Amino acid sequence: MNVLIYLVPMALLLGLAGLAAFMWSLRDGQYEDMDGSAVRILSDDDLNSTDKAA
């Protein structure tokens, strides 16, 4: 059972990393416009609209 000593912290860290990633994406405004994001990904010319209005 000694394997738990590193497996359990590893599982927790992975979970926390996922949570942190979600929090970052939330703060980054990625859930502000679900419909827009779905169609924006199809457009190629995103080079001149990378900066956003807050």
Q: Using CB under 8 A, pick the residue from 3, 6, 8, 28 that binds other proteins.
A: 8
HEC profile of the chain: CCCHHHHHHHHHHHHHHHHHHHHHHHHCCCCCCHHHHHHHCCCCCCHHHCCCCC
Q: Using CB under 8 A, pick the residue from 2, 3, 4, 30 that binds other proteins.
A: 4
Residues near other proteins (CB under 8 A): 1, 4, 8, 11-12, 15-16, 18-19, 22-23, 26, 31-36, 39-40, 42-43, 45, 48-49, 51-54
